[in-house]
Each structure stands twice: as C-alpha cells, then as structure tokens.
C-alpha cells in the first residue's frame, strides 16, 4: 500500500511538473513572439545625391547582419529591422553613412560624394602626393591587384594592367624573368627597362616577395621621373613594401600549389608523316620515289628500326615531366604608437619541364619603425633572399626537335642510351646521371636604415642609407655524354666555377618643407644622393676528369684545359636635386624640378649634366563655370609636362679608356726569345663621351563621371632621344686595331623618337548588395623610329633611319612556285616548282626579274606592337569572387626561330617540324617549300620564319570562395579564402602557323611556356 501510494504521489507530481512546463513554455513563446513583433518593424525611405537625383542601386544594410536591400530606380528602399538597429548606406563614389533607426519608420538619406579616390596617396620620387594634386603621369596598383593571381614575379602580375607598359614572358624556364618596356624603346645599345625603386632605394624587383608589397606606382612622364635624373629615362617603378601598423598583431598565411598543362612547343615528325616527307625529298633528289625502305634509309640499322616501329618523340620525352610550383608565405604585423613591425618569410619551389630545371627560394623580411620622441623616428627595412637554382639548357628542346626519331631511347633497365642508334647520340645526354650540372647558389641582402626629424610643422628631414650585398656561385660540369654546349676553351669532360660578388651602398638626404597660406600651398624638397658600386668576378675551370661524380667540386683533379679569369669594376655616382610644388585652391598646380648627376665612367668635361622638368595641371571640374556639369562630371584635370632625362646607354666602368690585354710569353719574339707584349682589345678610348638625353612631352586628362563610377585617364606622349650612345666601328685606316681587326668606340651620335597614346578606363558596372562587377580597360598605341644614324642605315644590325629600333629585315615571302608558273620566268629567277617565291626589288630597270640576292631584302616589320590591350573583369557574388584577365598585342612581327627548324633538306638524321604543309605536285597551294630543296635555296629559307605575331589570350582566370566568418572564427581564423587559378587557358593568334606556340615568347625556340593550374589558400588570424 505504501509503495502504491508513493507511486501515485510521484505520478501526480510528474503530471503537475509536465503541465507546469507546458504552461511556462507557452508563456515564454508568447513573450518572445510579442518581443519579436515589437522589435521588427518596417523601415523605408529614399536615397538621393547632393543634386537631389535618386541613387539607383545603393546598398542598405542592417549593421552587423546580412539583412539588407538595394534602392530601386527611384532611389527607394524598404526592409524590416529591429528599432534599435543601425542602417548602413553605401554606394560607389559616395561616403558611407551609418544611421540609427531609433524607432523611425521613414529614413531619407542624402549621400555625399566621396573624395577617397582623389585623396588617395600616390608615391612619387622622394615623397608622396594626393592623387588630386598630381601633375605627372602616374599609374598605381595596390596589394590586392598584385596578389589577385599567384605568382613569384611581381611584374608578371602587372602585365596588361598599366597603360604604356609592355610586359612579356619569353620563357617557361624556372625563375625566368619578364621583358619590360615603358613607352617603347629609346636606346639602341643600352637597357630600355625602367628604374626600380624599392622602399626609396634603387633595387631589384625580382628579390621582392609579391605578398610583401603594399603598393606599386609607375612614373611615366619626365615631370615624374626627372627627379631621378640619368636613371629615369625609361620610366620609374616605385615598389613600397608593407610596414607595421598600430593595433593587434595580424598574421597572414598564404599557400598554393600548381601544375602544368599543355606545353606550347612544336614536335618533330613521326611515323607516316616522317616517311612521306623523306620519300618526297628522295624523289626530288633522285627523280623518283625509293623502291623500298632500305633504299630510302641507306643504313641497315635505320631500316630495321623503321620496320620495327621504334619511333621516338624526343620533344615529348624532354618536356614530359609535369612542371610544378608551390609557395608558402607567413607574415605578421602590428605594434604600438611608438613601435611597429612587419615581418615575413616565404619558401617557394619550382620544378620545370626538364628534370634538371629546379629552383628553391627562401625570403626573409623585417621592416620596423620606432618613434624616439615627437620629433624623431628611426626605422629599417631588410630583405634577405637565398636561392638554389639548377638550370637546364635551351638546346635540349631544339636538339630534341631535330633529332633522328628512330631507335632505342632507353636500355632494358630504363636508363637513357647515349648512343641510341648507329652514329646518333641522344639529345637528352644532359639527363644521363652525372653528365651535366649547372647549379647557382646566390644570396641577396638589402638593408635600409633611416632617420626622420620633424622639428616643427611642415619641416621634415630624412637621412637614409642602404647596403646591398649579393654573392653567387655558379658550378658547371660537362661530361663526355652531355649535349649542352661547352666553352670554346674547354676539354671534355670539363668543370668550371664562377664566383660573383657585388656590394653597393647608397646614402641619401632629403629635406622637405610644406606650408599652406590661405588658398596657397607650397612645397619644396632638396636631395643629395651618393652611390658606390663594386663588382668582382673569378672563374676557374679544368678539364679531362676521370670521375664524373666529382663534377665541379674538385677542379685540381682535371688533367688539362686549365682556365682562370678574374675581373673587377667600380663605379660611383653623385647627385643633387630639388623640386618645388605650388597649388592654388586645389585648381592650379605647378611642379618644377632639376637634378644634377655626376658619374665616374664618362669623359672629363662630360661627367656632370642636369635634368630639369616641369608640369602644370588645371582641375577644370572645380571651376565655377563647370557648376552645371557637377551632376555627372565628378573630376576633370588637364595636365601638361615637359622634361629631360638621361641614360648611360649600355656603357659601364672604364668605357672611356682604351682596353688592352697583356700576353705573357708568346706570339712575339725578340732575339729568338718570347717576350711579353700588349694588344688592344675591346673598345677604344673616347674623349667626349656623355649622356644620352631624352626630351619628353606629355599631355594628360584625368576624368571621373557619375560620381567616379567611371574614371580613367588619357595620355599623349612624345620622346626624342638625342646623342644616343652608339658603339661605332673605328676604321682600320685609323691604325687602331686588335690583331688586325677593327675596334669599337662609344660615341654620342644617333637620335630616336617615339610617341603614342594611352587609355585607362575603370568602370563599376554593377554595384549591389550581393553582386558587384567592375572592369578595367587599358590600351596603348605607340610608334617609334630612328631619326638619325651615323653614315645612314646599318644593315648588318638591322638599324634603319625612319624604322623602329627592333626592325626585322630580310626577304619577303610571296608564296611557292608551282608547275603552272611560266617556265621561262622561273629560269630568270633561277627557281623551280616547289621553291620559295619572294618579292624582289627592281634593279637597273629589270622589273625585279632576276635571281634572288641580298639587294632584294627589305624591312618586313617590327617586334614592338602597335597596340597593347588589357581587359580585367572582376565579379563578386556574396562570398564568391571571379576575375578574368585578357591581354593582346597587335601589329607586331615575329621572326620565329622555332619555325626555322623546317629546312626542307634531304637529311634522314635531321628531323622536321610536325604538321608542316609542304609543297608536292599534288599539293601546290602549300605554304612551305618542297622537301629536298633546302640546300639549293638556303639563302631565302629565313623568309619562312617571319609571320604576323598579333595575338590575344586569357592570361589568367581566378575563382575564389571566402568562407563565412561565423564558421572560420570558431577555428580562431579571421578570414579564409580558397581559390583556383588557370594561367594561359586560351590563346588565339592571327597567323595559324603559330598554332602550338605561345606568341608571347616572340617565336623563341628556348624553354616553352605552358598552361598552368594553381590551387591556393589565404588565411588571416
């Protein structure tokens, strides 16, 4: 009974608790429902600009949430939000506003035009300036523009994105650099690449980790570059690396891994194609096809390999390895008001198509700034790069292309055969173990220290000193079976070591003063700069080794071909400069500068020169008479500049001195005994050698419309370079020779000129809550020519007055002679059916009908393009992002070395390019000449190499996804982005003969480029 009663009591209590729970839950649900209905309310309104026009597509978000909407065509919006929420109103070109709801149902907003774009700080020579106050032609890129697609080469990331800058990648070798021109070529023998300033000091961009870069500013006109004087003739690229900022520590980790796709290279003929070619060549030489394979091959071993089908695709074997790239970068930044640091480290590894083409690179950076007191700040910038590079050689590809394609490439154990068939050595001999080595280990250190003093408002003094130390060791070994070309003085096997040491320091002092007096703003800078550069090189080699495994590590073990060489050079440069700026009401801007440079290597009386420049700018959009345009014209500024810059034109230390070589005991005897004697060599002394000087005009218009939703610039430029440093051959009649051969002497003789237009347009096509689409278009049209050469055209170097520097000169292809052509006419030209037809030049009234000769050569085109285009589209939908970058070069001519490997000769052991459309009696509309005719028309065969090099390509496509913050923050990760990038996925060329070749390489026969696919991750902690 007691147990039953107890159970009843427990049951009653349980039922009571259950009922109570249900009542409490119902009450709480009702309370929350009432609270929710009380909190959520409808808010609506209209968003207009300062002129009263509705802002279409403005984003209205509830702060801290993803709840939001966009305004309609009338600028109206409506959404539901808690009464205590804050609404965030934003639109491109306007200042973002945050407005508390405060219980209101209607909130109307007037967005004000943002000055952020115009107030953006741009780095110029020895200082910074707001973009609105800029008087020169300057293009800028931020870190996000540089790292949007993964790359180890920062300049490759800029390809097609800077109007006027022509960047091409001519090789797929690991660590290969790019070719850079800014507004064309000016110098004939000197470098035409721009000057690179790294954190205020001249340096090497290739030693900078792209992830460490904060911004890149490209100075293009003389008013911007003349402050660098003799170094700024080809433009200036200023790279500013990241520095620490006040606040909590921010850690970033980036990693990616990529692999190659299709290789852009030609292959040799195989199978029926190879057999058909050689049967046609045999027929041309012998009058009929061969009766059997033995007759065709002429070698029993070759015949046996043919009948057994032992075909070898040597190009496929050479480039068969999948090229890979990987990189891991870690950085941390942060600090207090008094001290801030940025530190980073990275490791990257590239494996090329060849087994002996690999690069490992390690970088370390530490940038620090410390405020001593309110008047003084000190800091330093340091960058260390170490690389270990194994390099293959380009003739691996060219020899594989032309190698005999029959035999046994490998032995029974899978090892490469050096002699793969009778009398034929493998083109892959460098891959045989211990037969070839080409290894470079290098260390690069760049350290900069500075002191800033600001004793009173507007005044600043900076003293900075930098030291660059670089050291490299190149070790090389050529075994008896190696295919790489050896030095001319080498005895196989041969080993060699080359040590290069460079140390340089630069000390600069910059005094700046800025003042504002009512509507007037003044600025002035005074600069001194001193640079000293020293280079040393030592080479030691030896030959005749008995053991290949020693390679280049035991030079004394060689039995012959001892070789030693050493060199030393030192240059010094001193500079003084000043620059003044004036600004009235922000509308009228004036800049003037002058720099005096003095160098050690020019002639006495010509060592020093000055490089002045000036610019004016007028902000039309700020004028009162432009009031009526303010509803659509956000910005309009007209700029005009003129200046003089200089170039040392390929010269270096000691070019003004006659060079001689002392021969110790040989060649000359006196009294029957050998004696020492000296002989002129190299260059002969010049007494008046000075600077190349470029005289530059630039007219530009900066514009922004629809509240800077569309902005950009248009530039016209013209540069005339006078006194070009020209390496002139001294006539033998002057009595100045080296072993009876004429010497060269540097003189200021030639003149060049280039001009063109640049266009940059940025457009925010769609800006909404969830979807954004922006486009950047860059276009450059340019033309260059040589205006004057000593003695007129220099045909041996393809230099012609009135033509570009990089002109292509030769015979102009006009087709192939056929059996239907007039036989008598062919006799006059001394050709036969299947021969190349070229355009001839009339000679002594013959109407151009004569045997082909050197006088029939003409200018066929130029390597520099008429047009360079870049188009970048960026899409963002919620957490997804997509960028597609396209580029094109049009109007350029390519003289393709690769196409030249079809030689139409009758050689069984020399292969031809696969896929060639050659002439036969049944195929008389072909482009290439008849097989077997190559030896008889070898003079004009180079005409086949010249083709239209115009092309367009999708350079890269990047697709990314950023994980939601709520998810990543649980793992203590602030931001995580995953991405995929495809490089060179699509290429279209104007000339079909370039199919299978990347025209960007200029028809190079060296390391081919390839498609590449990369997967990566960005983490912020």
pLDDT tens string 178-218: 999 999 888 888 788 899 999 988 888 888 999 999 999 99
Mean pLDDT of 597-602: 88
pLDDT score of 928 more than 90: yes
Structural domain tally of the chain? Answer: 3
Task: Determine, yes or no, domain membership for 206.
Answer: yes
pLDDT score of 164 more than 80: yes
Q: How far is CA 242 from CA 211, 215, 333, in A?
A: 9, 8, 9
- Residues 889 and 868 sit within 8 Å (Cβ to Cβ): yes
pLDDT score of 836 more than 60: yes
Mean pLDDT of 563-579: 92
Q: What confidence score (pLDDT) does residue 1014 get?
A: 95
Domain boundary among 215, 243, 271: 243
Are residue 130 and residue 224 in the same domain, yes or no?
yes
List the structure tokens of 776.
């950047």
Are residue 96 and residue 141 in the same domain, yes or no?
no
Confidence of residue 132 (pLDDT cuts 50, 70, 90): confident
Are residue 89 and residue 123 in the same domain, yes or no?
no
Q: Where are the alpha helices (DSSP H) in 226-287?
A: 271-286
pLDDT score of 532 more than 60: yes
Average pLDDT in the chain: 88
Return the SS3 of 771: strand
Give every CB contact of residue 810 below 8 A, 6+ residues apart in sequence.
857, 858, 860, 895, 942, 943, 946
pLDDT score of 513 more than 90: yes
Task: Determine, yes or no, domain membership for 836.
Answer: yes
Give, for 2, the enclosing helix (H) or strand (E): helix 2-39
Q: What confidence score (pLDDT) does residue 751 get?
A: 92
Residue 726: count of CB within 10 angstroms of its CB: 22
Are residue 101 and residue 142 in the same domain, yes or no?
no
> Which pLDDT tens digit goes with each residue over 628-676?
888 888 889 999 999 999 887 777 788 777 777 776 655 677 777 777 7
Task: Determine, yes or no, domain membership for 907.
Answer: no
What CATH number does the domain containing 52 carry?
A: 2.60.40.1120
Mean pLDDT of 13-31: 42
Percent over 70 (pLDDT), the chain: 93
> Which pLDDT tens digit goes with each residue over 864-910?
999 999 999 999 998 999 999 999 999 999 999 889 899 999 999 99
Are residue 96 and residue 121 in the same domain, yes or no?
no
> Which pLDDT tens digit goes with each residue over 324-349?
999 999 999 999 989 999 999 999 99
| pTM, full prediction | 0.84
Mean pLDDT of 929-951: 95
Task: Determine, yes or no, domain membership for 428.
Answer: no
Q: What confidence score (pLDDT) does residue 373 get?
A: 92
Shortest CA distance to 1005 belongs to which of 260, 399, 487? Answer: 399
For 195, the domain range is 117-243
Q: How many CA atoms lie within 13 A of 641 on its CB side?
A: 35
Task: Determine, yes or no, domain membership for 641.
Answer: no
Mean pLDDT of 742-762: 88
pLDDT score of 8 more than 50: no
Are residue 57 and residue 135 in the same domain, yes or no?
no
Are residue 122 and residue 239 in the same domain, yes or no?
yes
pLDDT score of 177 more than 90: no
Domain boundary among 833, 851, 869: 851
Mean pLDDT of 287-293: 94
Are residue 102 and residue 133 in the same domain, yes or no?
no
When comparing pLDDT for 230 and 105, which is higher?
A: 105
Task: Determine, yes or no, domain membership for 172.
Answer: yes
Task: Determine, yes or no, domain membership for 525.
Answer: no
> Which pLDDT tens digit goes with each residue over 62-105?
887 777 888 887 889 999 888 888 899 988 667 888 999 888 88
When comparing pLDDT for 149 and 515, which is higher?
A: 515
Q: What is the DSSP string of 798-863?
A: TB-BTS-TTEEEEPPEEEE--TTS-HHHHHHHT--TTSEEE-----TTSTT-S---GGG-EEEEES
Q: What confidence score (pLDDT) does residue 93 get?
A: 66
Task: Determine, yes or no, domain membership for 842.
Answer: yes
Q: What confidence score (pLDDT) does residue 116 get?
A: 55
pLDDT score of 54 more than 90: no
Q: What confidence score (pLDDT) does residue 118 get?
A: 55
pLDDT score of 133 more than 90: no
What's the CA gap between 87 and 812, in Å, rounded? 70
Residue 21: count of CB within 10 angstroms of its CB: 10
What's the CA gap between 666 and 170, in Å, rounded? 45
Task: Give burial (CB, 10 Å; 0-12/13-18/19+) of 742.
Answer: middle
Q: What confidence score (pLDDT) does residue 39 get?
A: 53
Domain boundary among 196, 211, 243: 243
Are residue 78 and residue 126 in the same domain, yes or no?
no
- Residues 648 and 190 sit within 8 Å (Cβ to Cβ): yes
């Amino acid at each position: 009974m007691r147990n039953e009663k107890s159970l009843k009591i427990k049951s009653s209590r349980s039922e009571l608790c259950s009922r109570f729970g249900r009542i409490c839950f119902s009450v709480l649900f009702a309370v929350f429902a009432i609270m929710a209905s009380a909190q959520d309310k409808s808010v609506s309104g209209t968003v207009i600009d300062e002129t009263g026009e509705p802002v279409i597509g403005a984003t209205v978000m509830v702060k801290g949430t993803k709840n939001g909407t966009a305004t309609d065509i009338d600028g109206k919006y409506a959404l539901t939000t808690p009464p205590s929420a804050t609404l965030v109103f934003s639109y491109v070109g306007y200042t973002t506003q945050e407005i508390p709801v405060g219980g209101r149902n209607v909130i109307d907003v007037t967005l004000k035009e943002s000055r952020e774009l115009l107030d953006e700080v741009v780095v110029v020579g020895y200082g910074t300036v707001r973009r609105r106050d800029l008087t020169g032609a300057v293009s800028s890129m931020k870190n996000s523009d540089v790292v949007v697609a993964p790359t180890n080469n920062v300049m490759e990331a800029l390809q097609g994105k800077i109007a006027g800058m022509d960047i091409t990648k001519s090789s797929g070798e690991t660590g290969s650099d790019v070719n850079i021109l800014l507004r064309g070529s000016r110098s004939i023998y000197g470098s035409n690449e721009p000057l690179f300033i790294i954190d205020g000091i001249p340096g090497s961009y290739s030693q900078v980790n792209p992830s460490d870069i904060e911004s890149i500013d490209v100075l293009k006109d003389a008013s911007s570059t003349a402050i660098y004087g003799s170094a700024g003739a080809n433009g200036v690229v200023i790279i500013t690396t990241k520095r620490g900022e006040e606040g909590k520590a921010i850690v970033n980790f980036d990693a990616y891994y990529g692999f190659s796709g299709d290789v852009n290279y030609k292959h040799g003929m195989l199978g029926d194609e190879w057999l058909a070619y050689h049967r046609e060549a045999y027929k041309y030489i012998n009058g009929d096809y061969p009766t059997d394979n033995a007759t065709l091959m002429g070698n029993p071993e070759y015949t046996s390999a043919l009948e057994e089908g032992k075909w070898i695709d040597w190009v496929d074997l050479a480039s068969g390895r999948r090229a890979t790239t990987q990189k891991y970068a870690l950085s941390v930044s942060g600090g207090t008001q008094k001290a801030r640091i940025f530190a980073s480290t990275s490791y990257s590894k590239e494996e090329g198509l060849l087994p002996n083409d690999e690069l490992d690179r390690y970088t370390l950076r530490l940038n620090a700034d410390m405020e001593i007191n309110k008047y003084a700040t000190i800091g330093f910038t340091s960058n260390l790069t170490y690389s270990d590079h194994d390099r293959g050689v380009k003739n691996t590809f060219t020899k594989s292309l032309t190698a005999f394609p029959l035999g046994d490439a490998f032995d029974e154990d899978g090892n490469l055969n050096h002699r793969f068939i009778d009398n034929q050595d493998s083109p892959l001999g460098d891959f045989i173990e211990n037969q070839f080595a080409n290894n470079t280990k290098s260390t690069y250190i760049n350290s900069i220290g500075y002191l800033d003093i600001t004793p009173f408002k507007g005044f600043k003094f900076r003293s900075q000193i930098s030291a660059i130390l670089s050291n490299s060791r190149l070790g090389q070994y050529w075994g008896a079976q190696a295919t790489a070309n050896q030095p001319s003085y080498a005895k196989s096997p041969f080993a060699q070591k080359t040590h290069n040491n460079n140390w340089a320091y630069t000390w600069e002092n910059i005094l700046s003063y800025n003042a504002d007096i009512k509507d007037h703003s003044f600025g002035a800078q005074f600069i001194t700069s001193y640079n000293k550069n020293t280079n040393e090189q030592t080479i030691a080699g030896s030959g005749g080794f008995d053991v290949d495994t020693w390679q280049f590590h035991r030079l004394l073990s060689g039995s012959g071909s001892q070789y030693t060489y050493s060199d030393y050079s030192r240059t010094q440069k001193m500079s003084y400069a000043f620059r003044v700026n004036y600004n009235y009401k922000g509308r009228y801007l004036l800049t003037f500068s002058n720099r005096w440079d003095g160098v050690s290597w020019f002639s006495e009386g010509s060592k020093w020169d000055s490089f002045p420049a000036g610019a004016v700018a007028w902000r039309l959009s700020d004028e009162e008479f432009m009031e009526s345009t303010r509803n659509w014209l956000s910005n309009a500024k007209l700029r005009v500049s003129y200046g003089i810059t200089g170039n040392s034109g390929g010269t270096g230390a000691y070019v003004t001195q006659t060079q001689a070589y002392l021969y110790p005991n040989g060649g000359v005897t006196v009294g029957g005994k050998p004696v020492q004697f000296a002989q002129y060599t190299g260059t002969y002394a010049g007494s008046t050698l000075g600077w190349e000087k470029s005289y530059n005009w630039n007219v530009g218009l900066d514009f922004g419309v629809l509240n800077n939703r569309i902005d950009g610039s248009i530039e016209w430029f013209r540069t005339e370079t006078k006194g070009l440093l020209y390496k002139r051959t001294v006539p033998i009649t002057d009595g100045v020779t080296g072993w009876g051969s004429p010497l060269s002497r540097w003189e200021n003789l030639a003149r060049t000129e280039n001009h063109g237009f640049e266009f940059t347009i940025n457009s925010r096509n769609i800006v909404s809550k969830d979807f954004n689409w922006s486009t950047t278009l860059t276009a450059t049209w340019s033309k260059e020519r040589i205006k004057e050469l000593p003695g007129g055209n220099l045909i041996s170097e393809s230099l012609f007055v009135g033509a570009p520097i990089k002109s292509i000169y030769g015979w102009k292809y006009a087709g192939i002679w056929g059996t239907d052509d007039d036989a008598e006419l062919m006799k006059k030209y001394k050709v036969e059916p299947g021969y190349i037809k070229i355009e001839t030049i009339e000679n002594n009234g013959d109407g151009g009908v004569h045997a082909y000769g050197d006088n029939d050569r003409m200018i066929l085109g130029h390597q520099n393009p008429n047009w360079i285009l870049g188009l970048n589209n960026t899409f963002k939908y919620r957490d997804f992002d997509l960028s597609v970058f396209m580029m094109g070069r049009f109007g350029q001519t390519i003289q393709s070395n690769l196409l030249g490997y079809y030689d139409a000769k009758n050689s069984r052991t020399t292969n031809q390019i696969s896929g060639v459309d050659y002439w036969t009696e049944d195929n008389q509309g072909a482009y290439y000449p008849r097989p077997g005719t190559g030896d008889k028309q070898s003079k004009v065969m180079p005409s086949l190499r010249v083709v239209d090099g115009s092309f367009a390509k999708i350079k890269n496509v990047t697709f990314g996804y950023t994980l939601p913050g709520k998810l990543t923050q649980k793992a203590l990760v602030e931001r995580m982005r995953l991405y995929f990038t495809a490089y060179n996925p699509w290429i279209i060329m104007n000339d079909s003969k370039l199919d299978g070749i990347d025209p960007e390489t200029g028809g190079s026969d060296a390391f081919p480029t390839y498609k590449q696919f990369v997967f990566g991750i960005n983490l912020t902690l």
